Each structure stands twice: as C-alpha cells, then as structure tokens.
C-alpha cells in the first residue's frame, strides 16, 4: 500500500473523529503517502496531522442554486485520478463524495490514463451511514447501534476487513511554532466548552457556574495548603467557543464575583482562586484546538473540541446526553451521563442535538448530570496529577 486517500469534507467534529484512522494507517503502512480531501475551511485542521502528505481542499460554496458544483468536482476528480491511489476511503458518504467516486470510476474507464488504470487496481471503501438503523432509532426507539457508539472507532470499522489489527490510537498534532512561543508553560489550563452547535446537547449554564464555584473553592483551598507548589502560577479556567457564544461572559462575571466574596469572607483559609479567561470568539479554530491540546483537563458535551481532546488523549469529562454518536473512543475522558435510575428511555433521541426534547423536563438527560459529580471526577484527576508530580 503506497498511496491512500481519505475523503471527509466536513464538519469539524466528524473530521476530527475521522482523523483517528491516520495513526493506524501510519503504523500499518509506515511508507505510505496519506492524502485527504476536505472542505477548504477545515483544511488547516487536517494539516495538523503530520502524517498527511497532501490536503485537497474543496471550496465551501455550493454550485448554482445550491446544487453541487459538478465542474469543480470534475476538476478535482481528474487531479485525484492522476495520483493513482491504491486505496480511497470515502469517510463521508454524502452526495459530493458519491459524485466524486462516480467521476473517478468514469475516468478509470474513459479517461486519458485508462491504460494505466487497467494495470492498477484502486480499492474504494465507503463508510456506511447505516440509515436504516438511524430510522429505527430516531423514529421507533429501536437501537441496533453499538452501545456506546464511539465515533472515532466507527471510522476504523469499515477498514477492519482489510486491516484486522486496527485499534484506536491517540494522535499527535503539529501546531505552528508561534503557538508554542506564546504559551505560558507555568499556567495550567482547565478548558471548559459550554457551547455546542445545537442547544439541546449543551450542559446547562447554571451547572457550569456551579462547577466553577466548586472547583475554584477546592483549588483555592489546595493552594493555601501549598498542595500546588509544584505549579508556580497554578491553574486557570479557560472558556472556548464561537463568536456567537456571548453568554460565556456571564460565567466569568459570576465566577469572579463569587471568588471576591469568598476571599473577603475567608481570606485566612483560602489561597488565590484560579484565574478565568473567556476566549470564546477570540481565537481561530486552530488556536482553540491548541488550547485543548495544551490543557490538563477538558469539560465538554458532544462537541468537536471534545473529539480533539479524545484524539489527543487529554483527560477530562465528556457530558453525554441526547446525542447518539458522541461518545469518546479513547480512555482518557470519563463519560458522564444521567444516572441509570432516571430510566431515560427517550435517549438517545438525536444524532447531533437537533430536534425537540420529548421529556417533561426539558433537557433532563443533561440536567441530571450534576455539577457535584463532575467536580468530584475532575478533582480526583487533579489530585492524582499532583501526587505524580510530587513523587
């Protein structure tokens, strides 16, 4: 296997999960050239994976009247066909990727390189979206998917017949050097992702506030006891999200007010509270990924940044509620769901957070994940980390 092409145009979270196949391919075929076809606005994310040789970008803008841009796909197909790939893995299986495959098959029969194509066999593997299973799950509450359904592993599964030794592997991304130069190694970030593409899969904002309050008090007490002496500047909470997530500023204001009130009341018992920074809408997508990559903990619902943490092996908590396909594939993240005693037969109820909540208490599957449970898990990870550093 000398040349491999992966096709996944979008979206951010799905691309990150699909990137989980690259470390496995690189280990199995260390000399193979691995290329990728992606939508242009996500090309820089794919380039973070150092094993990828070339990124073919497809412009986000659709063709005339919203139709697929056939002319651009035809041009892309000619360029790809000239590469004569050994394996093409369609990890998207949408209209664009289907047309691209048809064009490639046509070029292999009628194109200028058909004589060369006749001597070379290109294997094309397509990841099925298993639509009949989705129909049964979301309309009839009959679940035939793996439980839990781990997204990154699902991108490996179509390759199992060819490569049965595949297992999920953590990746290492190569960020621009100036990112590292601007990073303060003495400050350890705890990353919070309060937002998500669809509101129904967000953890309640009040829960995030309570979580910050519990963690702030606990870390301030630990600082007073000199438990964090091995970290000169201590911890910092960092909130990441998009420019539309203005509600994140409320978390900062409430946290800072509570920290001031607590320190005024208990100055003798508490050390300095961790600082907090709201970077939602202030960073590029790559910069946000770098914040996740250099963090010590990540707290997120089913978002693209959760899958970045999963792929890079970052510890933290995955808050999983209504979505069916957002479970992490690695072991670094602790999955937290509504307690089994809640007996929520309505979940999962959506593939990505779209739709309406059918429970009498809106978003109960997320509400039932209490801040106290999440804080206990996070503090246990930090405590173990401090012991390892001290030892």
Q: What is the DSSP track for 175-235? A: --HHHHHT--TTSEEEEEE---SSGGGSPPHHHHHHHHHHHHHHHHHHHHTTTTTTSTT-E
Are 111 and 216 contained in the same domain?
Answer: no
Are 144 and 193 contained in the same domain?
Answer: no
Output the domain CATH number for residue 342: 3.40.50.2000
pLDDT classification of 206: cutoffs 50, 70, 90: very high
Residue 171 inside a domain? The answer is: no
Rg (CA), the chain: 23
Both tokens of 119, joined, read: 């001597």
Are 94 and 188 contained in the same domain?
Answer: no
pLDDT, mean of residues 238-243: 96
Residue 172 inside a domain? The answer is: no
The CA-based dihedral angle spanning residues 102, 105, 110, 111, taken in that order and rounded to the nearest 10 degrees: 100
Are 90 and 190 contained in the same domain?
Answer: no
What confidence score (pLDDT) does residue 220 get? 86
Are 191 and 148 contained in the same domain?
Answer: no
Residue 65 above 50 pLDDT? no
Q: Taking a C-beta distance cutoff of 8 angstroms, is the pair 100, 126 a contact? A: no
DSSP 145: S
DSSP 54: E
Q: Measuring CA to CA, how many Å separate 238 from each of 97, 202, 249?
A: 37, 17, 11
Residue 257 inside a domain? The answer is: yes
pLDDT classification of 388: cutoffs 50, 70, 90: low
Domain count, the chain: 2
Residue 177 inside a domain? The answer is: no
H-type alpha helices, 49-150: 70-83, 95-110, 114-119, 131-140
**Among 159, 191, 211, which residue terminates a domain?**
159
Cα three-residue angle 178-273-184, rounded to 5 degrees = 15
Residue 307 inside a domain? The answer is: yes
Which range among 227-231, 288-292, 323-327 has the greatest average pLDDT?
Answer: 288-292
Cα three-residue angle 386-388-390, rounded to 5 degrees = 65
What confidence score (pLDDT) does residue 187 get? 84
Residue 343 above 80 pLDDT? no
Q: What is the pTM of this model?
A: 0.92
Q: Is 350 exposed, middle or buried (0-12, 13-18, 19+ CB in 10 A)?
A: buried
pLDDT classification of 229: cutoffs 50, 70, 90: very low
Range of lowest pLDDT (223-227, 269-273, 292-296, 321-325): 223-227
Residue 176 inside a domain? The answer is: no
Using CA atoms, how far apart are residues 116 and 219, in angstroms rounded to an integer? 65
What confidence score (pLDDT) does residue 103 get? 93
pLDDT, mean of residues 338-360: 84
Q: Measuring CA to CA, how many Å separate 140 from each of 133, 294, 347, 348?
A: 10, 42, 12, 12
Are 123 and 221 contained in the same domain?
Answer: no
What confidence score (pLDDT) does residue 232 get? 40
Are 138 and 198 contained in the same domain?
Answer: no
Residue 196 above 50 pLDDT? yes
What confidence score (pLDDT) does residue 5 get? 98
What confidence score (pLDDT) does residue 228 get? 45
Using CA atoms, how far apart are residues 95 and 29, in angstroms rounded to an integer? 30
Residue 269 above 80 pLDDT? no
Full residue range of the structural domain in which residue 141 is found: 3-159
What confidence score (pLDDT) does residue 324 get? 92
Residue 346 inside a domain? The answer is: yes
Using CA atoms, how far apart are residues 371 and 375, in angstroms rounded to an integer? 6
3-class DSSP assignment, residue 27: helix
**Among 104, 124, 159, which residue terminates a domain?**
159
Are 192 and 287 contained in the same domain?
Answer: yes
Cα three-residue angle 324-173-180, rounded to 5 degrees = 125
Which is more confidently placed, 64 or 179?
179
Are 123 and 262 contained in the same domain?
Answer: no
pLDDT, mean of residues 99-123: 74
Q: Is 115 exposed, middle or buried (0-12, 13-18, 19+ CB in 10 A)?
A: exposed
The dihedral of CA 153, 156, 158, 160: what is its sign? negative
Are 259 and 196 contained in the same domain?
Answer: yes
Residue 119 above 60 pLDDT? no
Residue-averaged pLDDT of the chain: 88
pLDDT, mean of residues 344-369: 91
Which is more confidently placed, 334 or 110?
334
Are 215 and 315 contained in the same domain?
Answer: yes
pLDDT, mean of residues 216-243: 76
**Among 124, 159, 194, which residue terminates a domain?**
159
Are 138 and 235 contained in the same domain?
Answer: no
Residue 75 inside a domain? The answer is: yes
Q: Taking a C-beta distance cutoff of 8 angstroms, is the pair 46, 52 a contact? A: yes
Range of lowest pLDDT (51-60, 159-168, 232-241): 159-168
Percentage of residues of the chain with pLDDT beyond 90: 67
């Amino acid at each position: 296997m000398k040349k491999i092409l992966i096709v996944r145009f979008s979206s951010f979270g799905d691309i990150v999960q699909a990137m989980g196949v690259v470390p496995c391919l690189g280990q199995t075929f260390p000399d193979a050239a691995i290329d990728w076809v992606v939508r242009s606005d996500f090309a820089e994310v794919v380039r973070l994976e150092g094993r990828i040789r070339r990124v073919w970008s497809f412009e986000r803008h659709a063709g005339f009247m919203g139709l697929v841009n056939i002319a651009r796909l035809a041009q892309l197909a000619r360029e790809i066909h000239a590469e004569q790939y050994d394996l093409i893995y369609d990890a998207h299986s949408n209209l664009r990727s289907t047309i691209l495959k048809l064009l490639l098959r046509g070029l292999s029969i009628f194109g200028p390189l058909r004589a060369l194509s006749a001597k070379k066999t290109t294997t094309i593997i397509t990841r099925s979206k298993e639509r009949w299973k989705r129909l049964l799950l979301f309309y009839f509450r009959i679940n035939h998917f793996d439980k839990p359904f781990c997204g990154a592993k699902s991108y490996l599964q179509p390759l199992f017949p060819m490569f049965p030794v595949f297992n999920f592997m953590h990746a290492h991304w190569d960020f621009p050097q100036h990112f590292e130069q601007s990073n303060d190694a003495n400050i350890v970030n705890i990353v919070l992702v309060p937002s998500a593409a669809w509101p129904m899969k967000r953890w309640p904002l009040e829960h995030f506030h309570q979580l910050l309050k519990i963690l702030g008090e606990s870390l301030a007490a630990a600082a007073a006891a000199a438990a964090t002496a091995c970290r000169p500047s201590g911890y910092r909470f960092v909130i990441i999200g998009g420019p539309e997530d203005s509600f994140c500023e409320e978390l900062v204001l409430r946290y800072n007010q509570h920290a001031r009130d607590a320190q005024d009341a208990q100055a003798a018992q508490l050390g300095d509270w961790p600082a907090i920074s709201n970077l939602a809408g202030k960073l590029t997508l790559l910069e946000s990924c770098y914040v996740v990559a250099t963090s010590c903990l990540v707290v997120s619902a089913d978002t693209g940044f959760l899958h970045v943490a999963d792929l890079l092996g970052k510890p933290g908590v995955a808050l999983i509620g209504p979505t069916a396909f957002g479970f992490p594939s690695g072991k670094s993240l602790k999955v937290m769901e509504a307690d089994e005693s809640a007996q929520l037969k309505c979940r999962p109820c959506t593939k990505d957070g779209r739709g309406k909540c059918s429970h009498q208490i809106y978003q109960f599957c997320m509400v039932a994940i209490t801040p106290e449970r999440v804080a206990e898990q996070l503090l246990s990870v930090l405590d173990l980390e401090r012991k390892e550093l001290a030892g």
